[in-house]
Amino acid sequence: MSTQLEQTGQADFEETTAPLRGELIAHCYRMLGSASEAEDLVQETYLRAWKAYHRFEGRSTVRTWMYTIATNACLTALKQQGRRPLPSGLGGPPGDPRQPVVEDRSHDWLEPLPDQLVWGRDAVPVDPADATEAAEGTQLAFMAALQELPPLQRAVLVLRDVLQFSAAETAAALDTTVASVNSALQRSRATIGEGLDRAGRRVSELTAHDREVFAAFCDAFERHDIDASWGS
């Protein structure tokens, strides 16, 4: 009987949480700046959630509960790593343009997030407007600005401004006060606003030709194709 109950609980857990996987990957990516680490943290989030699912009392939605687990998993990961270095053009002084471009994988660069990780599996049908908003929320310029924030400010900004959590929900997720959340949000908005001012045009402001060039460059960047990225 216990085995049957466990199987029923697992089926219910998977049915309830599976549609959230894509957006949780995007959330962890915003926090960490790494697609591969985001996947690992989402796996850890699901493991933690399954172990605690029998204690879930429904005081919040399952979605809010899962985001709380994911956010705290990311904060723990961020405490264990130093600041992520950024590639040329997203941070630090520019290189010498006269020198040849040489691929360097010796550092953990800020990684682009392939669309297929978010929309390609376990995802509910996507509204085009939602897809556009999600794409702009994970574009490299936005991600580069996010990396300038301390982990707590980063979490507050994402939960409040990207996911539209209330101040009370954010405080509960981060185990802090509403006053602390509001203070961190104000500081993070000021910092990231400066970063986005330097980011150039948003995707929605590009012409059709600009979008083609932008898409080709992103594709080449994800494939580590230096020659193609220069040609874009």
3-state secondary structure string, 108-166? Answer: CCCCCCCHHHHHCCCCCCCCHHHHHHHHHCCCHHHHHHHCCCCHHHHHHHHHHHHCCCC
**Residue 25 domain flag:** yes
Distance CA 34, CA 139 (A): 12
Highest mean pLDDT among 4-13, 22-31, 191-200, 219-228: 22-31
**Mean pLDDT, residues 73-80:** 92
**Residue 30 domain flag:** yes
**Residue 140 domain flag:** no
Q: What are phi and psi of 122, to 5 degrees?
A: 50, 30
The yes-or-no verdict on residue 197 having pLDDT over 60 is: no
Structure confidence at residue 106 as a pLDDT band (50, 70, 90) = very low
Residue 141 tokens read as 């310029």
The yes-or-no verdict on residue 4 having pLDDT over 70 is: no
* Across 75-89, 97-111, 209-223, least confident range: 97-111
Whole-number percent of the chain with pLDDT over 70 = 60
Specify the pLDDT at position 124.
46
**Residue 5 domain flag:** yes
Average pLDDT, the chain: 76
**Residue 4 domain flag:** yes
Specify the pLDDT at position 198.
43
**Beta carbons of 71 and 27 less than 8 angstroms apart:** yes
**Residue 48 domain flag:** yes
**Residue 67 domain flag:** yes
CATH of the domain at 51: 1.10.1740.10
Specify the pLDDT at position 91.
47
**Mean pLDDT, residues 96-103:** 62
H helices then E strands: how many in the chain?
12, 0
**Beta carbons of 182 and 153 less than 8 angstroms apart:** no
More confident residue, 12 or 69: 69
Specify the pLDDT at position 131.
55
**Residue 225 domain flag:** no
Domain span holding position 28: 1-85+112-121
**Number of domains the chain is built from:** 1
What is the DSSP track for 88-113?
TTTSS----TTSPP----SS-PPPP-
